[in-house]
Amino acid sequence: MSLNIQAIIHELLQKGFESALSLKGESLDPLLRKAQNPEHGDFQSNGAMGLGKKHGMNPRELAEQVVSTVDLNAIAHPLEIAGPGFINIKLKDDTVLEMVREMDADPQLGVTQSDDSHPVAIDLCGVNVAKQLHVGHLRSTIIGDALARMFERVGRRVYRENHLGDWGLPIAMVLERLMANSVDLETLSLDALNDAYRDAQLGARGDERGFARAIECDAGPHRVIELETQNESASGAQQAAKDLLIALQQGDEQLVQEWEKLIECTMRSVFESLGLLNVKIGPEHNRGESFYREQLSGVVEEFVDGGFAEEDNGALIVRFENRERPMLIRKSDGGFLYATTDLAAIKFRTQSLCSDQLIYVVDARQRDHFKDLFDATKIIGWDKTPDGAEVEMVHIPFGSVLGEDKKPLKTRSGSNVTLSSLLEEAIERGVVEVRKRSLEPNAPTHGMNDEKLCTIGRQIGIGAVKYADLSNDLVRDYVFDMDRMVAFEGNTGPYIQYACARIRSLISKCDADWSDAEFIIHEPEERALIMQLLQYNAVFQGMIQSLEPHRLCTWLYELTESFNTFYQSCPVLKTEDSKLRLSRVRIAHLTKKVLVDGLDVLGIESPEHM
């Protein structure tokens, strides 16, 4: 028996429609869905209505013909037709039990593994040197890491690419500012660096025309600065920064050393925050803009040699067939741009790493940038790996995190909220909650030492933030509501974590060996829970296809609800019949395995006790 039962039924029904309509082809979709009302069965096929209408046949008669030819007797009860032509399918309990045994015995829990040997490259985090991590980087990091885990879970090799903003004029401006103010880079704090960055930006804003033009393009901080400086009337500070950049680019030893200190200082604090977040991102994933600096002129040359770039007022641009907006790849002063670096990165990822899937988790304001980038990649032909695989390029734009006033999240003083302050608050809330609960004499955490409580508190607080971030449609803005996120009830991370902890303690109280117990279906709630568990692979594959982690969130929430319903109506440890009791423990255990696995894919830890 295969766990792909839905695929098998789909195929058989499709054949049934083919013979009933004397037609062939993919277009004969039986529209097989999970049944809306479990009383009618496990699945329903809604295909007869549309197909009957399209091919001039009464839908109910069509359904009857299909049912008379399709033989599902080995696995399902006789098919039933309802209403205008719905076909209801209810699996036999034996089928369900065989599938759940198979799922439980499979170390992958039924999740089909991919046979694509090309790696996936996921562009995530993307912090800028000398700047505090802000909430946008939080989203890129959390979403990117969850997508990476998802691909790893199906056996794909993943490159987490932290495309740091560590090169170019913005950095030169900061360095220039710091050196002009004789700041000691050895003992620098990230806050001081951040201030220098702001100073440098403010300096650039003195140039009104340039700034207006940059804002007009609304293309993210990089382009704003790049475009500002295109204006000829750059301020003195900008000129100094440009000179410094040239010296840096030429490898001036002392400058390179100072530049490395900036990076070190930024990354020390970045990794401190990432450490709290439970993401698999470390220094080994840094491949910032500076990594590509030697390749930029080569990239531009390839475009020129292929006849894909043209001169425009001394600058070099790539034009696209279907739009006015060109892509600037070299400025008139010979400097390269954010886009040039990204082209070099694409060449590296597809041609050297041989990735056939490039995923960019970058905020929605950079949409145009990625559209241009992907089209330019196709023009130059880097959309195929050296061994001929088609490269899929996707920008996953995400929305903003809003405060209660529905405006982008700001601190009381009006500055942008930093990542570390946000995480500290979440952890604090988690710890408070755990400490409070541990005061109850019968809580599993009662009497635990404070260090352990703090660890659990961190897992809850961070889990809450991550779940809230992943459980919505990614491009939607969402309101950051810490009270709701850390609640133990409702569609939250802690609700699911709490179910895991409760199941763990339930199982630990069973003193008999249940590990080989026979699965038994006695009550409808038992069956419903098992049917939900059996959906895991389908949900997983749907999520990989759509790159939508919220699908897994929703499903884990539903699974938790199914478990709670089961637990309310099916006593576990108090069941007299020992076979049934052990079967229930085993079902609970499988549920826990799946919940823990699913949370892990989302990057959320499951505390043993809560």
- Binding residues (CB under 6 A) for ligand ARG: these are 123, 126, 128, 163, 165, 220-222, 342, 345, 360, 362
Question: Pairing state of beta strands 43-45 and 86-89?
Answer: antiparallel
* CB of 220 or CB of 463, closer to ligand ARG: 220
- Report how far residue 555's alpha carbon sits from residue 601's, in angstroms, rounded to the nearest whole number: 13
* CB of 136 or CB of 457, closer to ligand ARG: 136
- Report how far residue 301's alpha carbon sits from residue 294's, in angstroms, rounded to the nearest whole number: 13
Shortest spacing between CB 271 and ligand ARG, in angstroms: 16
- Report how far residue 570's alpha carbon sits from residue 582's, in angstroms, rounded to the nearest whole number: 12
Strand, coil or helix: 299: helix
Shortest spacing between CB 43 and ligand ARG, in angstroms: 42
Q: Is the distance from CB of 278 to CB of 464 less than 8 angstroms?
A: no
**Block residue for tokens 């030492």:** 449
* CB of 9 or CB of 138, closer to ligand ARG: 138
The encoded tokens of residue 112 equal: 């089909």
The encoded tokens of residue 345 equal: 């990165």
- Report how far residue 535's alpha carbon sits from residue 110's, in angstroms, rounded to the nearest whole number: 9
DSSP summary character for residue 415: S
Shortest spacing between CB 195 and ligand ARG, in angstroms: 18
* CB of 249 or CB of 266, closer to ligand ARG: 266
* CB of 235 or CB of 420, closer to ligand ARG: 420
- Report how far residue 227's alpha carbon sits from residue 219's, in angstroms, rounded to the nearest whole number: 10
* CB of 395 or CB of 502, closer to ligand ARG: 395
* CB of 146 or CB of 570, closer to ligand ARG: 146
The encoded tokens of residue 78 equal: 């006789």
Q: Which of 393, 363, 376 is nearest to 327 (CA)?
A: 376
| β-bridge partners, 158 | 120
Which residues fall within 8 angstroms of residue 243, CB to CB, at 6 or more apart? none
Shortest spacing between CB 365 and ligand ARG, in angstroms: 8
> If you write DSSP's letter for every residue of 6-27 in order, what string do you get?
HHHHHHHHHHHHHHHHT--STT
* CB of 164 or CB of 185, closer to ligand ARG: 164
* CB of 41 or CB of 119, closer to ligand ARG: 119
The encoded tokens of residue 122 equal: 């996921």
Q: Give the chain's count of helices (H) and strands (E).
A: 22, 13
* CB of 363 or CB of 433, closer to ligand ARG: 363
Q: Is the distance from CB of 519 to CB of 588 less than 8 angstroms?
A: no
* CB of 287 or CB of 550, closer to ligand ARG: 287
- Report how far residue 125's alpha carbon sits from residue 121's, in angstroms, rounded to the nearest whole number: 13
Cβ-closest position to ligand ARG:
126
* CB of 87 or CB of 127, closer to ligand ARG: 127
Shortest spacing between CB 165 and ligand ARG, in angstroms: 4
Q: Which of 348, 347, 312, 346 is nearest to 331 (CA)?
A: 312
Shortest spacing between CB 92 and ligand ARG, in angstroms: 52
* CB of 140 or CB of 497, closer to ligand ARG: 140
Which residues fall within 8 angstroms of residue 545, CB to CB, at 6 or more apart? none
Residue type at 134 in one-letter notation: H
- Report how far residue 125's alpha carbon sits from residue 288's, in angstroms, rounded to the nearest whole number: 11
* CB of 165 or CB of 430, closer to ligand ARG: 165
Shortest spacing between CB 473 and ligand ARG, in angstroms: 21
Q: Which of 505, 518, 355 is nearest to 442 (CA)?
A: 505
- Put the strands of the sheet holding 158-161 in their side by side order: 158-161, 120-123, 357-361, 392-396
Shortest spacing between CB 298 and ligand ARG, in angstroms: 18
Which residues fall within 8 angstroms of residue 610, CB to CB, at 6 or more apart? 434, 437, 444, 445, 456, 460, 494, 497, 498, 501, 502
- Put the strands of the sheet holding 315-320 in their side by side order: 310-312, 315-320, 323-330
DSSP summary character for residue 389: P
Measuring CA to CA, how many Å separate 291 from each of 181, 315, 341, 393, 402? Answer: 28, 24, 9, 21, 34
The encoded tokens of residue 62 equal: 């069509």
* CB of 395 or CB of 581, closer to ligand ARG: 395
Q: Is the distance from CB of 462 to CB of 278 less than 8 angstroms?
A: yes
> If you write DSSP's letter for every residue of 73-87 in order, what string do you get?
TTTBSPPEEETTTEE
